[in-house]
Amino acid sequence: DQQVKQNSPSLSVQEGRISILNCDYTNSMFDYFLWYKKYPAEGPTFLISISSIKDKNEDGRFTVFLNKSAKHLSLHIVPSQPGDSAVYFCAIRAPPQFYFGTGTSLTVIP
C-alpha cells in the first residue's frame, strides 16, 4: 500500500511563474518531510526539508508547506527557471526508513 502519493506525474510552467508540486501521505506518525530533485540517469539531490513541528520552510526560491491535518505537503518554486526542469520526489521519514513518492516531472518553458 503506497504511503506517499504524488498524483500529478507531470507539470508544465512558464518561466518566471510559480511551480507548485504536491504530495499526500497516509501515516500521521511521519515526522520529517523532504523534497528531492532528480535529473535523468542521475541520483536524486536533496532540495529542502521540513519537520512535523513546522508548517513552512523557505530556502531562496523554494518553499515547502506542510498541512498535517490534511496530510499534505507541497513545494513552491518562485520564480521558476528552465534549470528547474527535472523530476521532483517527495520523501517522508518513518524511522529508520524513507518512503518516496512516484515523482512529478516539471518542465519550465522559456
Partner 1 sequence: DGGITQSPKYLFRKEGQNVTLSCEQNLNHDAMYWYRQDPGQGLRLIYYSQIVNDFQKGDIAEGYSVSREKKESFPLTVTSAQKNPTAFYLCASSITGPTNEQFFGPGTRLTVL
Which residues sit at the interface with partner 1, rule CB under 8 A? Answer: 4, 6, 9, 31-32, 34, 36, 41-46, 49, 51, 89, 91, 93, 96-98, 100-103
Of the pair 41, 110, the CB lying nearest partner 1 is at 41
Beta carbon of residue 75, minimum distance to partner 1 (angstroms, whole number):
15
Query: Cα–Cα distance between 91 and 110 in angstroms, integer?
Result: 28
Of the pair 32, 62, the CB lying nearest partner 1 is at 32
Residue 45 C-alpha cell reads as 539531490
For residue 94, the cross-strand partners are: 97
CA distances to 1, 27, 41 from 20, rounded to whole Å, are 25, 22, 24
